[in-house]
Amino acid sequence: MGWGFAGPFVAVFGLVFLAPIGYALYLSLFQDRLIGGTSFVGLDNYGKALTDPRFWEGLTRVGLFLLVQVPVMLGIALFAALAIDSGRLYGKTFFRVAIFLPYAVPAVVASLIWGFMYGTQFGLVGNINDAFGVTLPNPLSPSLVLASIGNIVTWEFVGYNMLIFYSALKVVPRSLYEAAAIDGAGEWRVVTAIKLPAIRSALVIATIFSIIGSFQLFNEPSILQKLAPNAITSDFTPNVYTYSLSFSGQQHNYAATVAIVMGVLTAIIAYAVQLRGMRKG
Amino acid sequence: MTTSLPTAAPGSAEPAGRTPAASTRAASGTTTSKRRERRLPHTPLNPRPSIPLTLVAGLVLVYTLLPLAWLVVNATKDQNGLLDSFGLWFADDTHFWDNIGRTLTYDDGVFVRWLLNTLLYVTAGAGGATVLAVLGGYALATYDFPGRRAVFAVVLGAVAVPGTALAVPTFLMFSNMGLTNTPWAVIIPSLISPFGLYLMWVFAAEAVPTELLEAARIDGSGELRTFFTIALPLLMPGTVTVLLFSMVATWNNYFLPLIMIKDPDWYPLTLGLNAWNAQAQTAGGQAVFDLIITGSLLTIVPIVAVFLLLQRYWQSGLAAGSVKE
């Protein structure tokens, strides 16, 4: 009877998750040449991917993105969650709802709003330049565009992570705070000695999701590409690269290989973070 | 980023042993206890609000609200107003209603078509995803059937697989099946939400006591009838949470329709706005920035409204998913 209830989920899951993974593995073992058609090439595609400078360029870029954006975003989210949970804010419900709000905004709309605001034509950057007679660096220039994307992603997900932390903080037994107060522990001490250890698993989970998200970076660069065609190349991130290989270049076999390599890398790093995060306790 | 998964800050693989009665009591007790707290003197557990902390946290608030304010302000401007006036204040003349009218009628009302497509994808995709997650989560939580552990392990493992890694092979598969460029190509992959399943499993384990199901069986109630009359009402708060997060994910989906749909008649709103932007940036294309901005506002208003109206549900649903250590 259990299968009767779980069956529909499992069947669709097989179709949209397991079958594509199997198909991708199959595709990655072949090559489609103009002359000679499709032929089995073993692991050649993997060798090609691992030595492909365009793949490495994108991977390095998302690595850098990950090292800077994820700590900044999680730091802000943690601060907001602790501030709301401390009960020392005026209007804490408003804070909670307003900070979470951007999560409901589609990546397309978020990228368009920020992209326009970054613009010098009718954006805020243009306004500031006109008002003060200065020339601010263009956020959509090749050297700054990654940071500008980081800002968009931070904006989109800071509230979501805040909510994860806040939900975890809410179930910390209040009696612990009482005991700490009796012992004369200050607020900062309560945060470091009680609250942070208590929500460690939420911190680990949020970190893992942010890492997976960073490795998958696609929507924001894909949309901003129209606003900054020179700054965002077709190999900007591994996913943008996979997309252009597959849909502009028709190199489906190689695209599947790059996607698998990225998937394996992501899983390894997510797993390592989980092991490390859990061991510390 | 494509991580649009509802998470419940799952701390461990085992659900917390809280009863639904206790959580409803806690939820309904919040307002009364708040009122009571006001009368109590300020203590370490009930501290006095702090102005400096509110100001610093206010910076985060400004950050999250600023782009939304920019969007609202600029949805009142026409093309000239956009270029001539300061971005965070209104132009001399307001074109708000005019902008909405032109957005809805531009190009034979294609925006309305995109809106209806989005509604179709959300209803079928998010609705279906919720049904599958509720049934599956209920099965995992209350039945001990062969392969149960395997189902759970495989589904959780799949969460770590980047969604975009599946995109190319899924596209090729659907292309062979003749499904690309049809609504099915967007709806079918939207039906699976591993996190919806996880959340429902945790929630069902807490909310549906096995003794209750046993009692129903002894009374001769069939499994389906037991599910609909006893389990489903208890699962409601979790169901609404999963529905809400699936709706956001489908409403906001960009990558999946981008690869699956080439025909603008089947675009959802997100792809449509992207197409208008591409047109506006192309030399010789009609610059419709005012329509893109108004269209963006119209795209987020329904989903933000749903979120605000159902606040109580997603907040309690997420809280139920987080686990005591």
Q: Which DSSP string corresponds to B81-97?
A: HHHHS-TTS--SS--HH
Q: Count structural domains, chain A.
A: 2
Task: Give pLDDT, residue B37.
Answer: 46
| pLDDT of the residue at B318 | 63
What one-letter code names the amino acid at A13?
Answer: F
* Residue B152: exposure state from Cβ atoms within 10 A (0-12, 13-18, ≥19): middle
Tell me how far apart the alpha carbons of residues B162 and A273 are, in angstroms, rounded to a whole number: 16
ipTM summary value? 0.89
Tens of pLDDT, residues A223-255? 999 888 888 988 999 989 998 888 887 888 899
DSSP state of B46: B
pLDDT at B40: 56
Q: Is A133 exposed, middle or buried (0-12, 13-18, 19+ CB in 10 A)?
A: exposed
Distance CA(B165)–CA(A49), nearest Å, equals 14
CB A58 within 8 A of CB A269: no
Which of B86, B192, B304 lies nearest to residue A12, judging by beta carbons?
Answer: B192
Q: In this structure, is residue A19 part of a structural domain?
A: yes
Is A117's Cβ below 8 Å from some Cβ in B?
Answer: yes
Q: What one-letter code names the amino acid at A280?
A: K
Report the pLDDT value the prediction gives residue A168, as an integer from 0 to 100.
87
Residue A78 has pLDDT above 90, yes or no: yes
Is B43 exposed, middle or buried (CB count within 10 Å of its CB: 0-12, 13-18, 19+)? exposed
Q: For residue A47, is it within any domain?
A: no
Q: Identify the bridge partners of residue A38 per DSSP, sorted by sequence position.
A: A32
Question: From the DSSP assignment, how many helices (H) and strands (E) are in chain B?
Answer: 16, 0
Residues A93 and A219 in one domain: yes
At residue A32, what are phi and psi to the nearest 5 degrees?
-110, 105
Mean pLDDT over A120-143 rounds to: 80
* Strand ranges, E, within chain A: 30-33, 37-40
* B105's tokens: 């009628």
Is A229 part of any domain?
yes
Residue B86 has which token pair?
């300061």
CB contact under 8 A, B135 and A6: yes
pLDDT of residue B122: 95
Give the model's confidence band at A80: pLDDT under 50 very low, under 70 low, under 90 confident, else very high.
Answer: very high
A252 and B88 within 8 Å at the Cβ level: the answer is no
User: Do A23 and A72 belong to one domain?
Assistant: no
Contacts of A121 (CB under 8 A, 6+ apart): B83
* A174 contact residues in B (CB cutoff 8 A): 45
In chain A, whose CA is at the least distance from the CA of B53? A89
In whole angstroms, give the CA distance from residue A250 to residue A244: 8
Largest pairwise CA distance in chain A: 80
A178 and A248 co-located in one domain: yes
Asked if A210 contacts A77 with a C-beta cutoff of 8 angstroms, the reply is no
Are the Cβ atoms of A171 and B324 closer than 8 angstroms?
Answer: yes
> Cβ distance A57 to A236 under 8 Å?
no
Of A15, A24, A19, the closest CA to residue A258 belongs to A24
Q: What is the DSSP letter of A136?
A: P
* Chain A nearest CA to B108, separation (Å): 22
Chain B residue whose CA is closest to A5: B135
Q: Which of A88, A104, A201 is the closest to B304 by Cβ?
A: A104
To 10 degrees, what angle do helices B289-309 and B96-121 make?
60
CB contact under 8 A, A88 and B53: yes
Mean per-residue pLDDT for B58-84?
A: 87
Domains and CATH numbers, chain B: 113-325 (1.10.3720.10)
How many contacts does A have with B, using Cβ atoms within 8 A? 332
- The whole-number pLDDT of residue B9 equals 38
Instruction: Please give the Cα distance from B220 to B209 (Å, whole number).
Output: 18
Query: What would the two tokens of residue B104 be?
Result: 């809805």
CATH number reported for the structural domain that contains residue A144 in this entry: 1.10.3720.10
Q: Which residues of A touch B133 (CB under 8 A)?
A: 9
How confident is the model over B13-25, as pLDDT tens digits? 334 333 344 444 3
Instruction: Output the CA–CA distances (angstroms, integers) from residue B321 to A132, B210, B241, B318, in the order listed.
Output: 50, 19, 10, 5
- pLDDT on residue A186: 82
- Chain A residues within an 8 Å CB radius of B1: 107, 153, 156-157, 213-214, 216-220
Specify if A254 maps to a domain. yes
In angstroms, the CA B208 to CA B231 distance is: 6
Of the listed ranges A107-111, A133-137, B273-277, the one predicted with least confidence:
A133-137
Contact in structure between A173 and A166 (CB atoms under 8 Å): no
| A157 in any annotated domain | yes
CB-based contact A4 B139, cutoff 8 Å: yes
Q: What is the mean pLDDT of residues A174-179?
A: 87
A123 within domain boundaries:
yes
Q: Is the pLDDT of residue B325 over 80?
A: no
Calculate how close chain B gets to A178, using CA atoms only, in Å: 7
Average pLDDT, chain B: 80
Are A33 and A59 members of one domain?
no
Mean pLDDT over all residues of chain A?
Answer: 88
With CB atoms and an 8 Å threshold, state whether B300 touches A106.
yes
The answer to whether the Cβ–Cβ distance between B7 and A205 falls below 8 Å is yes
A132, A173: one domain: yes
Instruction: Verify whether the Cβ–Cβ distance B67 to A155 is below 8 Å.
Output: yes
Regarding whether A122 and A33 lie in a shared domain, the answer is no
Do A98 and A225 belong together in one domain?
Answer: yes
Q: Do A155 and B166 touch (CB under 8 A)?
A: no
Domain extent, residue A180, equals: 52-279
Kind plus residue range of the DSSP H or E element containing A79: helix A53-85
Does the residue A199 lie in any domain?
yes
Asked whether the predicted pLDDT for residue B158 surpasses 70, the reply is: yes
**A55–B contact, CB cutoff 8 A:** no
A135 and A185, same domain (yes or no): yes
Residue with the bigger pLDDT between A64 and A31: it is: A64
What pLDDT does A37 receive?
75
Whether residue A194 is predicted with pLDDT greater than 60 in this model: the reply is yes
A10 plus A105 within the same structural domain: no
B230 contacts on A by Cβ (under 8 Å): none
Residue A59 scores a pLDDT above 80: yes
Say if A147 is an interface residue toward chain B (CB within 8 Å).
Answer: no
- pLDDT for the residue numbered B45: 65
Given B44, B151, B277, which is nearest A6 (Cβ)?
A: B151
**Is residue A12 domain-shared with residue A70, that is, in the same domain?**
no
Residues A27 and A146 both lie in one domain: no
Q: Looking at the structure, tell me whether residues A34 and A91 fall in a common domain.
A: no
Q: Which residue has the higher pLDDT, B289 or B37?
A: B289
Whether the pTM exceeds 0.95: the reply is: no
Judge whether residue B296 has pLDDT over 80.
yes
